[in-house]
């Protein structure tokens, strides 16, 4: 069992960074494949024989039963190979079954009953020889339903909210008393809508069988092992009977943290038909058929002294999940580690609705929660007549205010101060509505960012061959974040070889397991395991060299062997890595390494931090808002790759712009369905919406986080970004819209209410 003290005391090649590859803005390892359209995503993988094409059909009721199906026309249509409903789909173990008790996911049966619990739930499935024939036949399937009245009105059912399973409100001190006694108060309510992930690549799967107990599956998923185990449980075969691959993934954002019926149905149909089967969600099906970020209502109360110190704060979040679910958008949790206050109350209420499944979406919790609290802080600063940056500095806690633990690293104040300086925050006029640029009223806003940091158990293998090529193998995923690239950098730096001599193989259930991509734990977890494997390979190579009579390094101290430019050396004695391996291990040499959380990791509060600064223009005639400039300054430990990390951070910031201004999906309560079903209706920011945007990463090493001293950035950029936009709108025109997204109709109403 390792400890934080070991990590801090032990040098390693990433820390030493002898070749300088760590932190370098290295181009994406798989970039050329992606930009030339030659990276085989799951649906584009070439199977061993011509595939059949499956098309799913979603329920057109939100809740009720499928009472009948007229499949004759579809079955008679050209090229049709199979038409399934719950009545004739292959038998599968009940949902959640774990024949193997240590499976990381239970069975996920498809078409397993007549019960419909959300609009768009797959209820029928057509397979044909071509995609066109399958789509055409799917349109001929006629289903009948016994619909029930859907319970989908979140704001009308807040009263049904209960504590999430196993959770209670967290109160420190006496919030009500502290709030009442505070001379300056904010008490407001914010709402955020359902949001959809809108990954560029919809969920898609391809499967075929090599014998009755061996299923080969390519899919698009963030976590390999649960996908493999869940599919094996569904198919009723041994877990090792599923070989699951997810080599390239066109965006995940939490929405691909699980698999969906595309995978189940592809594998089942491939078994039934004896040929490969592809199944993909359509863009429209993605909106209902996969998870979404649920809507929230958040009440924030802040009570402060006149000097700005918080006496009391509370965020209470109401949110919703599927009728059979328990997922909770923890929009209140992040606040617990952010600001000091002696009296605090945070908690959640969960309402079960007949809507599709809620689930994690980028910066789950923080993304929604900062949209209230970080605006409330702006409102408090306004009431205090205090600069919003200064208000946050005044409330900077010396230790984690929730649990009293010391921070492993906390550079929030430096993020705030450096951001303010770089952005030109001193040019902000505290009184709103003072700056015009043509028809645009211009305003500046800021917000703080926070996101927890995590390290999970993972393994990795490193091989070296007779050419001196290093191959990294890990059951990790790259969802567009840069995993391939940072693993290559760690390998090259650790073994002292050029980047061109590193091969990275990930996204495969038969490789050493890693937990995958999510919660911004990916790079730290996978990378730390890779570093361990790399250090083990260094040691093995060094011992091979000093133990080999044919090596110039023979008889030396293996600990003193250096690795640089493909050469291993002991002072002035050296040979190339490839010469050594060719001579001593022509078949190559493979070692494994692993990482586990430190036994004492919980002694520290380990978080990532940032500060967002935003300049918007508001057209008071129309209520249109355009982001003109945005800067984020972040502190997230050592940065492995300045380019991919920056892309992660700016991407998160752009998500924040979308959440603030355009993104949201509304429920039509008559049907229980979502109104926006494509990217012409669900509006994510377009290029023209993003002006001058930059993310800066402060120098930091967090040796208590993991052996590399890195932390995650995938969620951090999204945390707080929307609030900076909302605060800038207020500075521009002096009104606040607390019902996101801040669209022209809502802002126009607020402007008119102010006589503008």
Partner 1 sequence: MKPFTYERAESPAAAAKAAALTKGARFIAGGTNLLDLMKLEIEQPTHLIDVGRLPMAAIAPTPEGGLTIGAAATNTAVAAHADVRARYPVLSQAILAGGSPQLRNKASVGGNLLQRTRCAYFYDASKPCNKRAPGSGCGALEGLNRNAAIFGASQACIATHTSDMAVALAALNARVETISPSGDTRSIPLTDLHRLPGDMPHVETVLVPGELITAVTLPPPPVGGQAYRKVRDRASYAGGLASVAVAGGDLALGMVALKPWRAAGAERALRAGASPAEAMAAELEGASPRGRNDFKIPLVARLATAAIHEANGRGA
Contact 505, 470 (CB under 8 A): no
Q: Applying CB under 8 A, does 668 fall inside the site for partner 1? A: yes
Nearest approach in angstroms of CB 622 to partner 1 is 4
Give 591-647 as a 3 state SS string.
Answer: EEEEECCCCCHHHCECEEEEEEEEEEEEECCCCEEEEEEEEEEEECEECCEHHHHHH
| Given 678, 692, 699, 754, the residue binding partner 1 (CB under 8 A) | 678
Q: How far is the CB of 646 from partner 1 (least distance, A)?
A: 23
What is the rounded distance in angstroms from the CA atom of residue 173 to the CA atom of residue 401? 12
Q: Is 677 in the site for partner 1 (CB under 8 A)?
A: yes
**Residue 467 CB neighbours (<10 A):** 13
Any contact of residue 623 with partner 1 (CB under 8 A)?
Answer: yes
Choose the stretch contacting partner 1; rule: CB under 8 A; options: 18-26, 268-276, 397-405, 742-750.
742-750
C-alpha distances in Å from residue 549, one per residue of 441, 555, 574:
77, 8, 13
| 613 strand-pairing partners | 446, 631
Say if residues 67 and 148 touch (Cβ distance below 8 Å).
no
Least Å from the CB of residue 154 to partner 1: 14
Regarding 139 and contact with partner 1 (CB under 8 A), the answer is: yes
In the bound complex, what is the minimum distance in angstroms from residue 269's beta carbon to partner 1? Answer: 21
Biggest CA-to-CA distance, the chain: 89
**633 phi and psi, to 5 degrees?**
-120, 125
Does position 148 bind partner 1 by CB under 8 A?
Answer: no
Query: How far apart, in Å, are the Cα atoms of 214 and each of 61, 242, 684?
Result: 36, 6, 41
Give the containing element (helix H, strand E) for 68: strand 64-70
Q: Which tokens in the block code for residue 598? A: 């430190």
Helix/strand/coil for 216: strand
Q: What binding mask, one character per residue, do residues 117-136 give for partner 1 by CB under 8 A, x or -?
A: ---------------x--xx
The minimum distance between CB 199 and partner 1, in angstroms, equals 18
402 binds partner 1 per the rule CB under 8 A:
no
Q: Which residues within the stretch 430-459 sit at the binding site for partner 1 (CB under 8 A)?
A: 438-439
CB of 213 to partner 1, least distance (A): 38
* Contact present, 332 and 163 (Cβ < 8 Å): no
Provide, rounded to whole angstroms, the least separation between the CB of residue 443 and partner 1: 17
Set 366, 374, 615, 715: catalytic member: 715
Q: Which stretch binds partner 1 (CB under 8 A): 333-341, 396-404, 639-647, 680-688?
A: 680-688
Does 622 engage in binding with partner 1 (CB under 8 A)? Answer: yes
| Cα dihedral sign, 391-394-397-398 | positive
Using CA atoms, how far apart are residues 19 and 140, in angstroms rounded to an integer? 62
Q: Which range touches partner 1 (CB under 8 A), out of 93-101, 339-347, 388-396, 747-755?
A: 747-755
Nearest by Cα to 112 from 131, 129, 125: 125
Closer to partner 1 by Cβ: residue 197 or 501: 197
Q: Which position among 234, 409, 520, 673 is part of the footprint of partner 1 (CB under 8 A)?
A: 673
Cα angle: 555, vertex 559, 560; to 5 degrees: 75
Among 280, 447, 601, 676, binds partner 1 (CB under 8 A): 676
Near partner 1 by CB under 8 A: residue from 159, 549, 680, 753: 680
Which residues lie across from 590 on neighbouring strands? 463
715 a catalytic residue? yes
Stretch that binds partner 1, among 510-518, 642-650, 667-675, 705-713 (CB under 8 A): 667-675
> Residue 687, interface with partner 1 (CB under 8 A)?
yes
Shortest reach from residue 728's CB to partner 1, in Å = 16
Q: Which of residues 636-665 bind partner 1 (CB under 8 A)?
A: 661-662
154 or 563: whose CB is closer to partner 1?
154
Neighbours of 411 (CB within 10 A): 22
DSSP string, 701-732: --TTTSTT-B---TTTTTTTHHHHHHHHHHHH
- Positive or negative CA dihedral for 601, 602, 605, 606? positive
Among 158, 499, 683, 696, binds partner 1 (CB under 8 A): 683
Q: How far apart are CA 397 and CA 18, in angstroms?
A: 37
Mask 268-287, x = binds partner 1 (CB under 8 A)?
A: ----------------x---
Q: Does 64 bind partner 1 (CB under 8 A)?
A: no
Q: Would you count residue 222 as binding partner 1 (CB under 8 A)?
A: no
> What's the closest the beta carbon of residue 745 comes to partner 1, in angstroms?
4
The least CB distance from residue 132 to partner 1, in Å, is 6
Which of 602, 621, 692, 699 is in the footprint of partner 1 by CB under 8 A?
Answer: 621
Terminal Cα-to-Cα distance of the chain (whole angstroms): 64
Site size toward partner 1 (CB under 8 A) is: 38
What are the residues facing 64 on neighbouring strands?
Answer: 116, 147
Mask of contacts with partner 1, 32-61, x by CB under 8 A?
Answer: ----------------------------x-
Site residues (vs partner 1, CB under 8 A):
60, 132, 135-136, 139, 284, 438-439, 621-624, 626, 661-662, 666, 668, 670-671, 673, 675-678, 680-681, 683, 685-689, 743-745, 748-749, 752
Catalytically annotated residues? 715
């Amino acid at each position: 069992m390792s400890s934080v003290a070991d990590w801090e005391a032990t040098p390693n090649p990433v820390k030493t960074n002898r070749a300088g590859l760590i932190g370098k803005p290295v181009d994406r390892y798989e970039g050329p494949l992606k930009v030339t359209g030659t990276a085989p995503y799951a649906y584009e993988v070439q199977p061993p024989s011509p595939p059949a094409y499956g098309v799913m059909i979603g329920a057109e009721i939100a809740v009720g039963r499928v009472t009948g199906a007229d499949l004759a026309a579809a079955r008679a249509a050209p090229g049709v190979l199979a038409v399934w409903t719950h009545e004739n789909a292959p038998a599968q173990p009940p949902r959640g079954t774990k024949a193997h008790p240590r499976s990381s996911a239970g069975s996920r049966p498809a078409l397993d009953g007549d019960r419909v619990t959300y609009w768009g739930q797959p209820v029928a499935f057509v397979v044909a020889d071509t995609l066109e024939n399958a789509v055409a036949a799917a349109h001929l399937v006629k289903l009948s339903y016994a619909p029930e009245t859907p319970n989908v009105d979140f704001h009308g059912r807040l009263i049904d909210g209960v504590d999430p399973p196993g959770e209670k409100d967290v109160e420190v001190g006496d919030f009500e008393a502290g709030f009442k006694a505070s001379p300056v108060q904010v008490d407001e309510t914010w709402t955020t809508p359902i949001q959809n992930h809108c990954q560029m690549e919809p969920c898609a799967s391809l499967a075929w069988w090599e014998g009755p107990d061996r299923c080969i599956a390519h899919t698009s998923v963030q976590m390999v092992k649960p996908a493999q185990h869940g599919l094996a449980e569904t198919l009723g075969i041994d877990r090792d009977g599923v070989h699951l691959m997810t080599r390239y993934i066109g965006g995940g954002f939490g929405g691909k943290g699980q698999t969906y019926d595309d995978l189940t149905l592809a594998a089942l149909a491939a078994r039934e038909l004896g040929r490969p089967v592809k199944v993909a969600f359509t863009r429209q099906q993605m909106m209902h058929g996969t998870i979404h970020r649920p809507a929230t209502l958040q009440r924030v109360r802040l009570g402060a002294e006149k000097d700005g110190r918080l006496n009391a704060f509370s965020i209470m979040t109401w949110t919703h999940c599927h009728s059979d679910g328990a997922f909770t958008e923890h929009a209140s949790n992040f606040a617990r580690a952010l600001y000091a206050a002696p009296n605090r109350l945070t908690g959640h209420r969960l309402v079960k609705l007949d809507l599709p499944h809620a689930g994690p979406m980028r910066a789950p919790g923080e993304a929604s929660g900062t949209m209230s609290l970080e605006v409330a802080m702006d409102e408090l600063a306004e009431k205090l007549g205090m600069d919003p940056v200064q208000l946050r500095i005044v409330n900077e806690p010396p230790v984690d205010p929730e649990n009293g633990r010391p921070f492993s690293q906390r550079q929030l104040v430096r993020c705030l101060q450096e951001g303010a300086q770089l952005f030109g925050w001193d040019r902000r006029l505290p009184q709103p509505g003072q700056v015009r640029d043509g028809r645009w009223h211009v305003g500046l806003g800021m917000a703080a960012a926070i996101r927890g940091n995590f390290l999970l158990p993972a393994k990795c293998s490193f091989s070296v061959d007779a050419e001196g090529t290093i191959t990294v193998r890990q059951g990790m995923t790259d969802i567009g974040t840069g995993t391939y690239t940072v693993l290559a950098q760690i390998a090259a730096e650790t073994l002292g070889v050029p980047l061109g001599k590193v091969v990275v193989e990930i996204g495969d259930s038969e490789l050493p397991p890693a937990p995958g991509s999510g919660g911004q734990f990916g790079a730290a977890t996978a990378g730390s395991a890779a570093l361990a494997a790399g250090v083990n390979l260094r040691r093995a190579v060094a011992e091979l060299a000093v133990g080999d009579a044919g090596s110039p390094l023979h008889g030396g101290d293996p600990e003193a062997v250096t690795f640089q430019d493909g050469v291993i050396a002991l002072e002035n004695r050296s040979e190339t890595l490839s010469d050594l391996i060719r001579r001593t291990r022509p078949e190559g040499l493979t070692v494994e390494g692993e990482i586990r959380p430190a036994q004492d990791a919980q002694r520290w509060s380990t978080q990532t931090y940032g500060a967002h600064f935003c300049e918007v223009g508001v057209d008071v005639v129309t209520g249109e808002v355009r982001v003109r400039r945005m800067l984020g300054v972040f502190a997230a430990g050592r940065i492995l790759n300045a380019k991919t990390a920056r892309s992660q951070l700016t991407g998160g910031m752009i998500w924040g712009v979308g959440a603030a201004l355009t993104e949201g999906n509304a429920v039509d309560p008559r049907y229980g369905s979502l109104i926006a079903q494509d990217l012409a209706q669900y509006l994510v920011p377009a290029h023209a919406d993003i002006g001058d945007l930059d993310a800066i990463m402060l120098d930091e090493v967090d040796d208590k986080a993991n052996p590399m001293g890195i932390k995650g950035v995938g969620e951090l950029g999204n945390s707080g970004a929307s609030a900076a936009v909302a605060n800038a709108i207020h500075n521009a025109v002096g009104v606040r819209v607390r019902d996101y997204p801040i669209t022209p109709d809502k802002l126009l109403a607020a402007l008119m209410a102010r006589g503008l």
